[in-house]
Structure 1
């Protein structure tokens, strides 16, 4: 089974026969012991440190179907090297573009992304309400906003509803997480406290996961329905991420803070903001990998699938809707 590899240290990567050779390099330019990764076992690479590589390596990675995702010092996603888009199909491209241009059809899909995201946020709140957390006011607020989704007549209006839902949801975080941390206002560039740092890092991981799964379908990741194309390059990944952030990111944040798997010492408060230190990022990524590879019995397929594969299934459902084969219904967590 192919794995995702995370490169936290800066270094140099090259090809050695049918193996990837990664040589870490410290700030003084000293080389560490090289690590060898068989190319057959790699699905993609996440580079959080600077990577020194040449075009020959990227030709090799492209032929092997391995994507490379890059992040800057502040943990912002900056771009990807992706192999040739061998799955893109003309018919899908045309139909996907038609769905975006037709305001009525686009609105149908945009509503579904917002309603799916709101449902999954409410599912999280109900879980903690059942464990004696006082979150009923936040839940009631989200329910009121969610009732407005079907009546929205423009995508901008839907984005406003989604923003209000998420703000009410974030207001409930302090009631879920222990007294060691507080949410405050949502801040992004850079995050101003620990919870915001985890949200930004986790959302970025979710966005990149959605992008990776889109690559394995015929969908074009640049043509979206809720978010405006061009706001970011792969805006369809943003649409899909709205549905999965409550299930994959937020539940992970609640776990690592409530179980103290990530603590105050794992954050860096320099640079006018707050970021995860290397140790904190490694802990988060380890649990993230465990989470997305965790399997459950799919209620429709009647077989076990991983959460990572669930994202790909969401892409297939969206493809069928666009091709007029089956109405798209967003994933809604039942557990």
Structure 2
């Protein structure tokens, strides 16, 4: 199993060549082979000996607090290092940043359109206006932008229009009103924040397996204390991974407000059972495979994130076209 989730409080340490975790039920042992990342969804105690063990095994550790908020990532010492690529990445930031950022926004628009078209075909005719906008107008709007600031405004408008469709797609108790992130203020905002954070951390793990520098991004501003390139590469996957998961869990009543959110916190945080249900559906979607239209072989959505890293590398080194993940690759 590549990914392990730990939901209970406890203690984790190295035991020979295994990961040993102790909670109220006793010790649990996991062989280190095959573990690529561990998600700690609750408070755990560990020591530097375990961190060294995880680093040498190439295991990425993601930490969340009790409320599901992302605390940070322990990132093993980079072993995929390329000075040539780093120079190319910096040069691309200086010379081609806007082009790369535009490619990301257009991929998001394409995948949002695909997601909404599914509901349009099943009777939601009120979605025609936004579908036409995403299909015909957004490309011209993006092409006319001349600065990152303008492009980010276009992206913001795209997401606002998308969120406005929730009134048609989701039941009343999952309506949004407005996107609120830190902290979320209602169930739908809680799901979006949780899903986006999971996807962000998955992208961190994927980029770790490439030679890309996590701190040099193109759409999002490169900043200290965050992996901004992961924010870039995760964008195109939000519609097909995060929002498809959210819509299906809600509309199939697998996630319910009264059962899967913390009532004492205004239903704005998933409870432990809610997190487990969401993560199971999220992992299932990431592991689902499709026949890649160009590669002509089965590829999982999770592997497609890594492939986007390789696409970016080819662009940086060879000036090949950089086309972030599009749902068309599944067709």
TM-score by length of 1: 0.93
Out of 101, 125, 141, the residue aligned to residue 110 of structure 1 is 101
Task: Tell me the matched-pair count.
Answer: 326
Structure 2 distance, partners of 1:197, 1:266, is 11
Tell me if 1:172 matches 2:165: yes
Tell me if 1:21 matches 2:14: no
Q: Aligned residue for 2:228?
A: 235
**Are the equivalent residues in 2 in contact too, given 1:145–1:164 (CA < 8 A)?**
no
The structure-2 alpha-carbon separation of the partners of 1:106 and 1:307, relative to structure 1 and needing over 3 Å to count, comes to same
Residue 232 of structure 1: CA displacement?
A: 5.4
Q: Please give the secondary structure, in 2, of the residue aligned with 1:75.
A: coil
Structure 1: runs of 5 or more not aligned:
25-30
Q: Larger helix proportion, structure 1 or 2?
A: 2
Q: Aligned residue for 2:131?
A: 139
The structure-2 alpha-carbon separation of the partners of 1:232 and 1:161, relative to structure 1 and needing over 3 Å to count, comes to farther
Structure 1 distance, partners of 2:183, 2:198, is 16
Tell me if 1:244 matches 2:243: no
Q: Please give the secondary structure, in 1, of the residue aligned with 2:22.
A: strand
The structure-2 alpha-carbon separation of the partners of 1:232 and 1:126, relative to structure 1 and needing over 3 Å to count, comes to farther
Residue 50 of structure 1: CA displacement?
A: 1.2
Residue 325 of structure 1: CA displacement?
A: 4.5
Structure 1 distance, partners of 2:231, 2:224, is 10
Residue 140 of structure 1: CA displacement?
A: 3.6
The structure-2 alpha-carbon separation of the partners of 1:171 and 1:236, relative to structure 1 and needing over 3 Å to count, comes to same
The structure-2 alpha-carbon separation of the partners of 1:299 and 1:145, relative to structure 1 and needing over 3 Å to count, comes to closer
Structure 2: runs of 5 or more not aligned:
none
Point out 4+ residue stretches in structure 1 off by more than 6 angstroms.
Answer: none
Structure 2 distance, partners of 1:179, 1:272, is 16
The structure-2 alpha-carbon separation of the partners of 1:119 and 1:323, relative to structure 1 and needing over 3 Å to count, comes to same
Out of 185, 192, 199, the residue aligned to residue 199 of structure 1 is 192
Deviation by residue 1:131-174 (Cα, 9 ceiling, x = unmatched): 11121233344453443101110011100000000100011122
**Are the equivalent residues in 2 in contact too, given 1:190–1:273 (CA < 8 A)?**
no
TM-score by length of 2: 0.95
Residue 88 of structure 1: CA displacement?
A: 1.7
